[in-house]
Amino acid sequence: MKKSAAVLVAVMLAVPLASLASHHASSPSPAASGGSTLYVGGDGPGNYTSIQAAVDHAGDGDTVYVYGGTYREHVTVASSITIVGASTDAVVDARANDTAFTLTAPGITLHSLHIRNSGGGRADALISSRFPATSVTDCLLSRARQGVIADGTSDVTVHNCTFSRVAKGVSLLSCRDTNVTNSTFFKTGIGIWAYETTGIVIRDIFSEQGGTGVMLRAVHDVLVQRSTLSSNNENQVNLYAEYADGIQVDDCHIHDSGFAAHFEECTDVAMTGCHIHDNKIAVRFSESASCTLTHSDVYANDVAVYLVAAENSTISHNNLEQNYVSTLAADDSACDARYNWWGSRLGPVDEVHGSVMRVRTYPWLQAPENHSRTAGAQHAIRPADLDGETDSAPPLSADNDTDGDGVPDWWEEQYGYNPEEWNDHGRLDPDNDGLNNVEEYRTDQWGSHPFQQDLFIEVDVMNASYGLTEKKKQQMTAAFAEHNISLHIDDGGMGGSDVIPHEGYVNYATLVDLYWTYFLNEKPGCWRKGVFHYVILSDTLFKTMPGFVFIGWDEADSFALSMRYYMQEIPAVFQDHVHATVFMHELGHTLGLFHDLYPGIDNESSLIPFPLPFIEGQLTYIRYLSCMSYQYAWQILDYSDGSRGRGDFDDWGHVDLTFFQDSHWG
């Protein structure tokens, strides 16, 4: 699964960071025409020292030019002006509260700025607009709950921007005619989130190492073109749409992720010219009608096309090769699958699986079609250095901290440090459990130890009756203890556990909001992030999803389980045990155990309801006695140690207690 990713990474590394600088160096205003220019920073006569002061003195058509520097401001813009940074060294820092730019007039352009650190409240964003013709170009947007919010407006343009560590990059809510182009989304929980919006063009975007690249709900007339979505959270979907119609996906490159494209209750979806490989499930149409996949290369996925209650689908003129579990799986679906290349002149010999399906495959192609594989933006730039300078959380006040290193004397004495000699406890992590010594001290009250690996989990529930039983907690704790890891579950005793409100419908966007409200408590600097793994025991997830890992901000430190799913699926007598095993399964993902590490993890073959691939999958992984295998996920409350021979895997040897602080795939 790794070779194409390696090529891509090589390409990405070959892009010098200087090209980022040159992208953003051109400072002339794209919209300056006729108005006057006001200057902020710099040392010219009459220059303003704050952006807000200059903005307040600017009128429609004027330009505010911002010299390099860091401006710790919240700016409200009430006239139709252009704000231009000298380069992205012009930094607007909202100091982890409120919104950086609130736009209250039509026709405002923000160009060539680095905007960062907005607040953690529900409405806080780097840029928030309810007025038409908002334009954001050549900007860097980092560290925020929300990047650009456009709400109830039209003619929104986001062009040539980079989003890094933003929980929701671009939110389009009840908008018309919006464009997001030439932009990069890195470590974004959801890159582009569109709701009840009509007319969206997404072109030449790149999304990597986040949760979901593009998420669409109740939208119409969407074009996703020439975009690359890759290596996003293996438990989420690169391109997800629900209750939407009129979606065209052209020339996109989607690879090395869990699910490439998933359409739920959609109509009129047309994917063409795409290049989709090394995913678990490439394309899924569920309860959807009139969906097509044509002229695409779909290979090296576990399942290439998965139809569930899909009507009137067309899968034609594709090259469908070397998909490991099934090429076309159809459950209660009808599909025209003629004119495909199935990897053999004999056609789909053992490639199509299904039940209650009406699939036509004959005639098929006798040779692969020649598709150009130039699909997808290739301008990936890892904005690795964007996040160095942030306002850090205030230090924990420590009583009797003689050497002022943030950790009190008694703790240092207890663990053999010299309380009169300054230690870099914020970086020291002698037991390599991801908790530095300051965090070990903070969690000392709950039994952590700087020389003994600790694993903390915060559990929030939608119903006070949800949760693990004491007996199951003890069994799970014992399993970890056997591998010298102390498991600490906060389901009430460590200050984080909440009973959170019922949500009628929970999707990835809902989970991001719950994460910010009930885990971070709306504070971007919340110290529990990176210390606790976060769990939501939800009533439901989507319509019928059982559970998955999600990214609430920038890392895969969280998972959610649907309690109703298990109440319906599992006899009451087994429920306590199954809750525990699936809890441990999703927890394992946040410890770095994913399908791309070992294909027996989340082995789709054991789930697919069709006999042949099912039996094959069962036999392949029969010795892998782990809750990470779908085969045993409801039975075994443990990970495997790889000692059982062929098909087994050493989960315990691969547990990475720091993965949830720096998650990555592909």
Q: Which residues bind Ca ion (CB under 5 A)?
A: 401, 403, 405, 407, 429, 431, 433, 435, 454, 460, 496, 498, 518
Helix (H), strand (E) at residue 587: helix 572-590
Mode of pairing for the β-strands spanning 109-111 and 90-93: unpaired
Min dist CB 655 to Ca ion, Å, is: 14
Closer residue to Ca ion (CB): 89 or 498: 498
Of the pair 466, 518, the CB lying nearest Ca ion is at: 518
Q: Which of these, 196, 149, 181, lies nearest to 168 by C-alpha position?
A: 149
Nearer to Ca ion, 189 or 191 (CB): 189
Nearest to 106 by CA among 134, 84, 85: 134
3-class SS at 477? helix
Q: Pick the closer one to Ca ion by CB: 215 or 514.
A: 514
Provide the minimum distance between the beta carbon of 587 and Ca ion in the complex, in angstroms, as a whole number.
17
Our CB check for Ca ion shows the closer of 155 and 431 to be: 431
Closest CB 488 distance from Ca ion, rounded Å = 10
Using the minimum distance from each CB to Ca ion, give the nearer residue, 208 or 490. Answer: 490
Nearer to Ca ion, 20 or 438 (CB): 438
CB of 449 to Ca ion, least distance (A): 5
d(CA 24, CA 87): 6
Shortest approach of Ca ion to residue 520 CB, angstroms?
9
C-alpha distance from residue 393 to each of 69, 525, 554 (Å): 22, 5, 18
Shorter beta-carbon distance to Ca ion: residue 429 or 656? 429
Cβ neighbours, 10 Å, residue 521? 12
For the bound state, the minimum distance from the C-beta of residue 317 to Ca ion, rounded and expressed in Å, comes to 50
Residue 659 main-chain phi, psi, to 5 deg: -55, -40
Q: Which residues of 280-312 are buried (b: 16+ CB within 10 A; e: fewer)?
A: bbbbbbbbbbbbbbbbbbbbbbbbbbbbbbbbe
Q: How far is the CB of 353 from Ca ion (least distance, A)?
A: 42
Of 416, 172, 132, 347, nearest in space to 180 by CA: 172
CA distance 111 to 23: 12
Taking the CA atoms of residue 550, residue 382, residue 214 and residue 209 in that order, the dihedral angle to the nearest 10 degrees is: -30
Residue closer to Ca ion, measured from CB, 234 or 412: 412
> Could you give the CA distance from residue 66 to residue 42 in angstroms, rounded to a whole number?
8
Distance between CA 246 and CA 259 in Å, rounded? 21
- Spatial distance between the Cα atoms of 109 and 104, rounded to a whole number of angstroms: 12
- Smallest gap, in angstroms, from Cβ of residue 499 to Ca ion? 9
Rounded to whole angstroms, the Cα distance separating 273 from 255 reads 14
Smallest gap from Cβ 553 to Ca ion, in A, equals 15
